[in-house]
Amino acid sequence: MSAIVGIKSVMKMQFLRRRGMLSFFALLFVFLSFGIITGFNFLIGNATSEAILYLSTGAPAYILIITGLVMLPQLVTMSKSEGYIDYQRTWPVKRPVLLIADTLIWLIISIPSVILSIVFAHFVYNPGFSLSFTVVPGVLFTSLTCIGIGYGIAFLCKEEVAMIITQITVFGALMFSPINFPIENLPEWLQAVHRVLPVYSMGEAMRASLAQTTFTASIWHYINLGIWCIIGFGGSMLVLSKKR
């Protein structure tokens, strides 16, 4: 079986098995894309143009973080506990095909929400987007990094630990990560932590892609994302490749 045929077959199997839940996630991401921008604007009140631009450029990154670092590992953890991952090991496809097919599925259900959040913010708040040529690779790179780390959490950690990490991620990314506000607002020690962790780099990459005249992202942010992406997918492949 060729790799392309294998990917198509695995995607079909995954859609048939999880079509209800995947459809729910796709709808959830649409509401999330609207809710993040609108809800935070209500919270802030009379937001300045700078705050609105931060919210509008941070929302796509937050959607991808929720997708890759929360929803995905939770779903994979459920599949592990049900024995479905072990069943997938018996399929006549190479192990990378399993990850590639799943990754494509998550991209398909999350990318439209990112686009909708950008369009929604533009027409409702007119935050002053100035799209860069890096917007497409920036979205894909951020999404792949989130998905890779999500798989790493699900495959490298025990089910209970993975679930705890995802819950901490939701709270931490929402309240203590410089996605919707400048990193300078955080204490210096937390700034140093975020410069190593991938979430800050995700936000900066997205911001520079959507508002290039206001924000810039250094090459380190992309290197940092690449390192975490390799760690996530690499660790997942090591686990999947183990013989049972």
How far apart are the C-alpha atoms of 98 and 89, rounded to whole Å?
A: 9
Structure-token match 């700078």, residue found: 50
Confidence of residue 43 (pLDDT cuts 50, 70, 90): low
pLDDT in tens, 155-192: 888 888 888 888 888 888 777 888 888 899 899 999 99
Confidence of residue 122 (pLDDT cuts 50, 70, 90): confident
What are phi and psi for residue 134, nearest 5 degrees? -85, 5
How far apart are the C-alpha atoms of 56 and 120, rounded to whole Å?
A: 9
How far apart are the C-alpha atoms of 175 and 173, rounded to whole Å?
A: 6
Q: Which domain range does residue 184 map to? A: 3-241
Mean per-residue pLDDT, 97-101: 88
- Tell me how many helices (H) and strands (E) the chain has: 10, 0
Residue 160: the pLDDT is 86
Confidence of residue 227 (pLDDT cuts 50, 70, 90): very high
Q: Which is nearest to 67 in space by CA: 134, 150, 123? A: 150
Exposed/middle/buried for residue 144 (C-beta within 10 Å: 0-12, 13-18, 19+): buried
Beta bridge partners of 97: none
The count of structural domains within the chain is 1
**Helix%, strand%, coil% for the chain, nearest 5:** 80, 0, 20
Q: Which helix (H) or strand (E) holds 155?
A: helix 135-156
Mean per-residue pLDDT, 73-90: 85
Q: Which is nearest to 17 in space by CA: 82, 70, 113? A: 82
How far apart are the C-alpha atoms of 76 and 132, rounded to whole Å?
A: 34
Q: Which is nearest to 199 in space by CA: 221, 166, 230, 231? A: 221
Q: What's the pTM value of the predicted model, to 2 decimals?
A: 0.88
